[in-house]
Amino acid sequence: MRNSGIFVGNRFEQFFGKSAYAHLCVTDAMASDLRSNWGVSGKLIVLHDKAPRHFRRLDTAEIHK
């Protein structure tokens, strides 16, 4: 059985999300899903979620400081 909070949240988003002026997405796939599966008609703006250039992978010594 689905969680009732998730069910209510989905229904809320489906009802009120369609009337929003704009929608922010982090991927093109998310924007496409909102258009096709959620019936969103407002402006869809894609802001790609990407780490800044100065971020880097830590080496083992830095992880264990």
Tens digit of each residue's pLDDT, the chain (65 residues): 478 888 888 888 888 888 888 999 999 999 999 889 888 888 999 998 888 889 988 999 989 98
Closest to 44 in 3D by CA, of 13, 26, 29, 22: 22
Distance CA 26, CA 59 (A): 28
Cβ atoms within 10 Å of 23's Cβ, excluding its own: 19
Distance CA 54, CA 52 (A): 6
Distance CA 50, CA 62 (A): 22
Residue type, 23: H
Distance CA 5, CA 9 (A): 6
